[in-house]
Amino acid sequence: MSKDMMRAFELYQPDSVENAVELLGRFGPEGWALAGGNDTLDWFKDRAKYANAVVDLSGVEALRGIRETGDGVEIGAMTTLTEIESSELIQSRYSVLSDAARRVASPQIRNTGTIGGNLCQDTRCWYYRYGTDCYRAGGTTCYADTPEGQNREHCLWGADRCVAVSPSDTAPALVVLDARMVVQNAEGEREIPAEEFFIGPD
């Protein structure tokens, strides 16, 4: 008898950024960074995406917290949306960001959802989520870019083949604040202006 079960994966729980980066580099496209799991587990449970190795970032303490720096504030990728929403520092200096975090979904999702996951979550275009072979999924057609398409949440300007947008409420706030994203992989670290962080499919 066969059962429909979520596909098994190996779970890795690094406790440092270096170990997490090494694991994600080692597994490449077979690996998956897990933060709060709100988007990740949607994909896995829908059997729409899977990974052979899941790298759980929850034990990486260095990725948590909000710290004042000489020229601004540093927010760790694993900081929850609730922590951002309720931070007095963010409220007083960058209220557009605390307001944006407060708008995300429900308290339960904000309690577990992280800023890193909120920024990196995949698009919520329903054609893509329901597994069509659209352009973003490697096909040749954008089903949303038609007069009858369900595209109310999609972009009006600047689309190139895929008209979906990032569903992140915190993304526009970080763009207007001229935030810089610190991105790290096995080859090193670099900073990317928030405005250039969000890109469409090639």
| Measured distance CA(85)–CA(96) in Å, rounded | 10
Among ligand FAD, ligand SF4, none, what binds residue 84 when CB lies within 5 to 8 Å by partner kind?
none
Q: How far is the CB of 112 from ligand FAD (least distance, A)?
A: 6
Site residues (CB under 6 A) for ligand SF4, limited to 88-127: 123, 125, 127
Torsion of CA 123, 104, 45, 159, to 10 degrees: 0
Out of 55, 135, 173, 179, the only residue in the binding site for ligand SF4 (CB under 6 A) is 135
- Whether 100 contacts 94, CB under 8 Å: no
Among ligand SF4, ligand FAD, none, what binds residue 172 when CB lies within 5 to 8 Å by partner kind?
none
The tally of CA atoms less than 13 A away on the side-chain side of residue 146 is: 9
* Tokens standing for residue 129: 């989520």
| Measured distance CA(160)–CA(202) in Å, rounded | 9
For residues 160 to 179, the per-residue mask of contacts with ligand SF4, x marking binding by CB under 6 A and - elsewhere, is --xxx---------------
Tell me which residues touch ligand SF4 (CB under 6 A): 123, 125, 127-128, 134-136, 142-145, 154, 162-164
